[in-house]
Amino acid sequence: MAFKSFKPSKSRMRRLRPVLLLFVIILSLFIYFRPDSIPTYRPHTHAIASDQNDENGVTCPKSSLMKDVFVVIRTGATEAQEKLPVHFKTILTCVPDFIIYSDMDEIVDGHQIHDILTEVNATIKKTAPEFQLYNHLRTRGRDGLNYQTMFGSGPAGAVDNPGWKLDKWKFLPMAEKALYERPKTKWFIFIEPDTYVMWSNLLQYLSLFDANKPWYIGKHMYASGVLFAHGGSGFALSNPAMQKVSKHWKDNKNEIEQATLKGWAGDMILGKALKDVGVDMFWAYPHMQGDSLTALDWSVEKLERQTWCYAATTFHHMNPEEITTLWQFEQTWQRRNPNGAPLRFRDIFNNLVRHRLRAEREGWDNISIGTEYSEEVLAKMSQSNVDNLSLVEQNAHNSFEMCQAACEQQPRCIQFSFVPGQCSVSDELRLGRASDTQCLEYSNAAGKCVKEATTTGEDGDIVRSGWIMDRIPGYVYWLDEFCDNVKDIWITK
């Protein structure tokens, strides 16, 4: 581990802050996730695996495609130091070729980060409000930035976050520059620092496509009538697709920049450019996921595809803690399955999630966002509707046990969360996360809780969650049955 040479000088301290943060996160992982069936949480992990691929004991996929994939990470100065370090210690240890583009040149943990906005039209840089941040970064670095308003990205952060507004300018320059750097590489993978790439699976998936054809593979999203691959879920472009879009950008730079001024999101602008050169998006759902490990509803079905049955290649909205957890899990899986059996969502549930579910979990919010019971909700209901509730439901907000009973009364309810005065139940199973507040409204688009219960902070007010444990086997059985009709765990048509 990297903590050995710690010397507390001031500038060193600043640089080490992300490392310290990670250390604290890993410590809390030990506390929250007892190592049950995942032995790799023990600190002597490295010794266990030293028979594997490299001297650090990391097990990497043995795909021959690996050297033909260029991973492009898009970040911004307001998040790079906080969010990148975990990647250097996990996923990127197995990625031979990657580059990081941002809105400022800097070095993070010894890795060069490149400013990708140098060639944006100079007039726009002087006049578009979001470039105030960029110009500040160029002249003063991060000094004097108001971090309250700067942090976060996408609709997940503040929509007014200038870091987010600047982000849309990066996509086309990034495609052009990445191709310039690696003109012969077959595949380009674009991700963000809160994207988790299941590298082994992704390589297997890409090997099923002909890289000599133009491919644009991602998680579908629509905005302003344009279909595009969602940036945070990660997407792949083959070399011919990169050639086309890069040429289009060079030929129409001014026009696309004018559109970007009015545009909303960079992934959409790139999707539009690809469409204009005749490259349609390939719908890779559910392989590419917009949700995180903790917020994914394990029974979600879209495009008539039951997520459960398919292999996973990416997750989004992953914080450093979740990235570490999933990475450790993948490492264990790969050691046990040296032939590279792909991890399906059901494998992740059965081997990583399931043993973390409990009848009662204190300080844990499982994101139960079905029916809510509270005095407030009761007060808004008509008398006849209140009378129609069972006694248990009328009292669900009064105790953990009542809340649990209210869930049990409903035939498909599988989880609940409780803070005094508020009970939420849900038919959807989510792992959730350690928390001291209860999530009342979770936004999938934002990938975070947008409404939390207010607690007084007294001891008894910590959120507690539970799952109806004797319903879990039935839930798993129900989902497994969908897979009988799934011929291939990979979507290629």
Which chain residues interact with ligand NAG by CB under 6 A?
121, 123-124, 254, 365-369, 384-385, 388, 407, 415-417, 424-426, 438-439, 465-467
Comparison of 202 and 414: residue with beta carbon closer to ligand NAG: 414
In whole angstroms, the minimum distance from the beta carbon of 483 to ligand NAG comes to 25
By DSSP bridging, strand 235-238 and strand 226-229 are unpaired
How many CB atoms sit inside 10 A of residue 290's CB? 22
Q: Report the Cα–Cα distance between both ends of the chain, in Å, rounded.
A: 43
3-state secondary structure 295-364: CCCCCCEECCEEHHHCECCEECCCCHHHHHHHHHHHHHHHHHCCCCCCCEHHHHHHHHHHHHCCCCEECE
Q: Which of 89, 110, 96, 114 is nearest to 23 (CA)?
A: 89
CB of 207 to ligand NAG, least distance (A): 38
Written as six digits, the tokens of 312 are: 């996973």
Work out how close the CB of 150 gets to ligand NAG at its nearest, in angstroms, rounded to a whole number: 25
Least spacing, CB of residue 24 vs ligand NAG, in Å = 24
- Across 195-308, the runs of DSSP E, i.e. the strands, are 196-197, 216-218, 220-223, 226-229, 235-238, 282-283, 301-302, 305-306
CA gap 330, 312 in Å, rounded? 11
Closer by beta carbon to ligand NAG, 347 or else 401: 401
Select 121 or 149, whichever has its Cβ closest to ligand NAG. Answer: 121
DSSP state of 26: H
Considering beta carbons, is residue 238 or 438 the nearer one to ligand NAG? 438
| Smallest separation, CB 465 to ligand NAG (Å) | 3
> Which helix or strand (DSSP H or E) is residue 461 part of?
none
Closest CA to 347 of 231, 193, 200: 200
294 neighbors 433 (Cβ within 8 angstroms): yes
Whose Cβ is closer to ligand NAG: residue 117's or residue 407's?
407
Which residue lies nearer to ligand NAG by CB, 93 or 121?
121
In the complex, what is the shortest distance from the CB of residue 389 to ligand NAG, in angstroms, rounded to a whole number?
8
Our CB check for ligand NAG shows the closer of 51 and 470 to be 470
* C-beta of 21 vs 124, nearer to ligand NAG: 124
- Conformational region of residue 109, where left means phi above 0, alpha means psi within -120 to 50, and beta covers everything else: left
Q: List, in order, residues 6 or more apart from 101 with CB less than 8 Å away.
A: 72, 73, 74, 75, 113, 114, 115, 116, 170, 174, 177, 178
Least distance to ligand NAG, CB of residue 101, Å = 22
Query: ω into residue 96 within 30 of 0, thus cis?
Result: no
Of the pair 253, 275, the CB lying nearest ligand NAG is at 253
> Shortest approach of ligand NAG to residue 429 CB, angstroms?
9
- Nearer CB in complex with ligand NAG: 385/492: 385
Give kind and range of the element (H or E) at residue 394: helix 391-394
Q: Decide: 72 and 234 in contact? Cβ < 8 Å.
A: no
SS3 state at 164:
helix
| Complex with ligand NAG: residue 48 or 389, whichever CB lies closer | 389
- Between 236 and 439, name the residue whose CB sits nearer to ligand NAG: 439
Farthest CA pair distance, the chain: 70
Beta partners for 190?
72, 235
Helix axes 171-181, 266-276, angle to 10 degrees: 60
Q: How far is the CB of 42 from ligand NAG (least distance, A)?
A: 29
Cα–Cα–Cα angle for 354, 460, 30, rounded to 5 degrees: 40
